[in-house]
Amino acid sequence: MKKMRIAASSVLLLVGITLAATGALAADVEAGAEVFRTICATCHGPGGSPDPDNPVVKGLGVVPADLSDPLFNSREPTGDWEMVVKYGGDAMGLAAQMPPHKDALSDEQVADVIAYVKSMVDTSAFPPGEMNLFLPTRTKKAFPEDEVVYKGRFTPETGQNEYKNVLEIEKRVGKAGQVVLEFVHEKDAVRNELAEIEAGYKRALSWSDRYILSGALIVAKPVDSADGDGELQAYLAHGTVLSERWILQSSLRLKFPFEGASDGAAELAGIVHYVHSPWARRVFPALEVVGERPFRSSNGDLQWTVLPQVRIGLTKGGHVALNLGVELPLSDQLWDERYYVTLLWDFADGGFFKGW
C-alpha cells in the first residue's frame, strides 16, 4: 500500500509538473502576443500579414515579411528570428527598416514574441527551418531547399590532373518535396566535356525541431552513350541537432547501374559541424567521413576517406557561403588527396548580392 501511495504521488507530481510547464508555455505565448500587438503589429499587421496600403507600410518603402505564410514561417529558423529581433534586419542582411530591439526587449520577451509568431499559423506539414543545416561536401542534405550550388573537385595526378565540376539546381516543391537537376563536367588528360546529367526528387519523410529524415531517387544519365546507360541512385539523408554547438548529418546512398544492378555500390557518409556562433558570417569547421563498397566485393574493397573542411559564411545571413575541404584516403585508393570547393546560394533568402 505504501508503494502504491508513493507511485500515485509520483504520478500526480509528474502531472503537476506537466501542467505547470504547459501553463508556462501558454503564458509565454500570451506574453508574446502582447509584445507583438505593442511593437510588431503596426508594420506586420495584427495577424502577421502586412497591409501594403497601410500608410505606415507605405512609408517604409518595403513590405514587411508575411508571418502568416506557413512556408515562410516554417522555413525561417527560430535562431535567425531571434537575431533579427535583437539586432535588426540590416545585421542579418535584410531590410534596414526592421529596427533592433535588444535594448527594448529582454531575452525572455524576444523568445515569447517569436513563440507567438510561430503559433500564428499551422506549420506542422512543413519541415522546420531549424533543420536547414549546413551543406556538407559529400554527405547528402535532408532538408528540402531552394539552392544553386557549384561543387568543384581537383585530384592532382602526375601528368593527368583530374577536374570535376558540378552545377546543382534545387527547387522546393510543395510542403516537403524538392526537385533537383545536376550537370556534371569532367576534365582530365583525355577528356574535357559535359559528362553526365542527373535529375531526381527528394522528400522529407519525418521531422521535428531537432531532427529530419528524407528519401530521394536520382536518375544519372551519361551524355555520351559510350559511357553506359547510367544508373539509379536512392538515398536516405538524416540531420540532427546534437546540442547548441554541434550538428550531425549522415546519408546512405545506393547506386544501381541500369546495365546490372548488382554491379552497383553502397555509400555511407557522415559529418559533424561545430556551430560556435549564431552569426552566419563566420568560419565553421567540420569533419566528414565517407565509406563506399561495391555490392559484389570482399572486405578489401571497402574504401574509407576523411574530409576535414570549413564553411565560410559570405553574407550577413549566410545565404551565400563557401565550403573548402581536402579529402584524404584511409584505405588503398588510386589518388593521394582531393581538394573541394563549394559555393552555395540559397535563393529563397534573397538575391546573390544581397547582404554582403
DSSP output for 179-194: EEEEEEEEESSS-EEE
Q: Residue 313: pLDDT band by 50, 70, 90 thresholds?
A: very high
Q: How many structural domains does the chain have?
A: 2
356 lies in some domain: no
Q: Which of 118, 153, 174 is the last residue of a domain?
A: 118
99 lies in some domain: yes
Q: Residue 298: pLDDT band by 50, 70, 90 thresholds?
A: low
Average confidence (pLDDT) over 270-289 = 97
Cβ atoms of residues 140 and 134 within 8 Å: no
Average confidence (pLDDT) over 43-56 = 88
Q: Tell me the torsion sign for CA atoms 229, 214, 139, 71.
A: positive
Residue 77 CA: distances (Å) to CA of 115, 130, 132, 156: 11, 5, 8, 40
Q: Which of 68, 84, 118 is the last residue of a domain?
A: 118
Question: Is the same domain home to 170 and 291?
Answer: yes
Residue 196 pLDDT: 96
Average confidence (pLDDT) over 63-67 = 88
8 lies in some domain: yes
Q: Residue 299: pLDDT band by 50, 70, 90 thresholds?
A: low
Q: Which of 90, 118, 146 is the last residue of a domain?
A: 118
pLDDT in tens, 135-169: 999 999 999 999 999 999 999 987 789 999 999 99
Question: Is the same domain home to 63 and 94?
Answer: yes
Query: How far apart are the C-alpha atoms of 214 and 106, rounded to whole Å?
Result: 37
Q: Which CB contacts under 8 angstroms, 24+ apart, belong to 244-248?
A: 244/275, 245/274, 245/275, 245/276, 246/272, 246/273, 246/274, 246/275, 247/133, 247/134, 247/272, 247/273, 247/275, 248/272
Query: How far apart are the C-alpha atoms of 232 and 256, rounded to whole Å?
Result: 5
For the chain, what is the mean pLDDT?
89
Range of the domain at 275: 129-349
Residue 265 pLDDT: 95
Question: Is the same domain home to 144 and 90?
Answer: no
354 lies in some domain: no
Query: How far apart are the C-alpha atoms of 62 and 163, rounded to whole Å?
Result: 44
CATH code, 305: 2.40.160.40
Residue 341 pLDDT: 98
Question: Is the same domain home to 82 and 140?
Answer: no
Beta bridge partners of 267: 253, 292
HSE-CB of 102 using CA atoms within 13 angstroms: 10
Element (H, E) at 15: helix 2-35
pLDDT in tens, 116-132: 999 999 999 999 999 99
Question: Is the same domain home to 256 and 321?
Answer: yes
Query: How far apart are the C-alpha atoms of 167 and 346, rounded to whole Å?
Result: 14
For residue 158, what is its C-alpha cell?
Answer: 602526375
Percentage with pLDDT > 90 across the chain: 73
124 lies in some domain: no
Question: Is the same domain home to 85 and 153?
Answer: no
Question: Is the same domain home to 92 and 229?
Answer: no
Q: Residue 52: pLDDT band by 50, 70, 90 thresholds?
A: confident
Question: Is the same domain home to 112 and 236?
Answer: no
pLDDT in tens, 208-267: 999 999 999 999 999 988 888 999 999 999 999 999 999 999 999 999 999 988 889 999
